[in-house]
Amino acid sequence: MTDVAPENEAQVADFLRWALAEEVPVELIGNGSKRGLGSAVQSTHTLSLRAMAGIALYEPEELVLRALPGTTIAEIADTLAAKNQMLAFEPPDWAPLFGAPAGSGTLGGAIGCNLAGPRRIRHGAARDHLLGFRAVNGRGESFKSGGRVMKNVTGYDLSKLMAGSMGTLAAMTEITLKVLPRAERLRTVLLYGFEPDAANRAMVRAQQLPFEATGAAYLPANVAAQSAVDMVRAPGGSVTAIRLEGAPESTADRCARLRTLLRQEGGMPDEELHGMRSGAFWQEVADVAPLLRDPGATILRLLLPPAAGGAALMAMDARKVAARPIVTDKAGPDSRALAAYLDWGGGALWVAGRDPRALSEAARDVAREFGGIVQPIRNAPAGLQAPDELARAIKAAFDPRGILNPGRMG
């Protein structure tokens, strides 16, 4: 296998022009921390952007940061934290999900996979914070968003296309992002003992009211038991979590009003997480930590209408695709329970199981029933997510010979 690690855009273009001329497929990666995401790429040549790293521009007053694609998210987060700022799309650290070192994920990977953590319900995904970029397409041509228009792609919103393309359209060589101030206070309301449908109603209700929730998740009992946060793990039942952020007085007031409202609507006993505990819990949710006990498990994500999340979770559980426990060592009534949880206020259903085909077939059926789609995350069977006609046309415009990450998206 040939592993090429260019140091600048010109070298990227030279290599891709050679690959085009030879019609050689190329696997495009950063540090390779999400190499197992989606379908496998069949290639003997790897183009790694790991050497193109560093923050090129940071203007805190203008809320703008520009960096090279190999820059780690961890470095960017530390730089922003020094100025009390953040990447509002809350990029998760999925490196441990694929057996890579924690903190090794890069900016190029986060944008290319359009990652987003629990704050997506308020601040959107990575594509919503991408101001611009430079890149090299499958013809070996350099281009930039907002600059000259590529042949055959007139009218495309390049930033929206590039985010989530998983390296199948172009190799990004420079990325400019919008950043936001970091909240002064972070609190999480915890509701114990809800069934999935009741939890879903509570999450939807919290988002409909003027509490400015920035996270809403539901962990069934067998998944909550895996949390490192004692107030999530110790009660021994399901946990519904709603995050509020902002100025200290405002956050405390909104938390109190939300707890009162949910009690009036039949809510279960509740608690609050503050500060570091709250941050640790939402990091677990973002990083899929509750499903990582079994490194060989297949993991899928169903993207659904938020109000349907609870019903979809129950529908998946009813299909009995978990042959034996995934996340618990305890025998008991839920020892065969599905390993699953809800994020994005019910809009994202994470599921794990040891039978890839059975889990995938059940997920497809449930997604179809509730008007959603299935995303293969880890160890999923091929063909679960196939590109449609429009996706194929866009791929042909950017990469006519199909040399960039062929097969990655199905």
DSSP state of 247: S
- Residue 72: how many CB atoms within 10 A of its CB? 23
Q: Which residues contact 56 (CB under 8 A, 6 or more apart)?
A: 66, 67, 68, 174
Cβ-based burial of 276 (10 A; exposed 0-12, middle 13-18, buried ≥19): exposed
Contact 4, 50 (CB under 8 A): no
Two tokens at 201? 């109603």
Report d(CA 402, CA 130) in Å as an integer. 25
Report d(CA 229, CA 128) in Å as an integer. 31
Q: For the chain of 410 residues, list the mean pLDDT of each consecutive stretch of 10.
A: 92 97 95 89 92 97 96 98 97 96 97 97 95 95 66 62 94 96 95 93 92 96 94 94 95 92 76 92 96 90 97 92 49 57 98 92 96 94 77 91 87
Model pLDDT, residue 337: 59
Contact 200, 241 (CB under 8 A): no
> Does an H or E element contain 279, and which?
helix 275-286
Model pLDDT, residue 326: 46
Model pLDDT, residue 324: 43
Contact 133, 56 (CB under 8 A): no
Model pLDDT, residue 332: 40
> What Cα–Cα distance (Å) separates residue 4 from each residue in 40, 70, 169, 280?
19, 14, 18, 37
Taken in order of first residue, the domains within the chain and their CATH numbers are: 2-181 (3.30.465.10), 183-385 (3.30.70.2190)
Model pLDDT, residue 8: 97
> Does an H or E element contain 300, and which?
strand 298-303
Model pLDDT, residue 149: 38
Write out the DSSP string of 192-219: ES--HHHHHHHHHHHHHTTT-EEEEEEE
Nearest to 218 by CA among 99, 323, 304, 114: 304
pTM for the structure as a whole:
0.92
Q: 51: which strand partners?
A: none
To the nearest 10 degrees (0 to 180), the angle between helices 196-208 and 248-264 is 130
Write out the DSSP string of 27-82: EEESSSTTTTSSSPP--SEEEE-TTS-SEEEEEGGGTEEEE-TTSBHHHHHHHHHT
Model pLDDT, residue 291: 93
Model pLDDT, residue 244: 96
% pLDDT > 70, the chain: 92
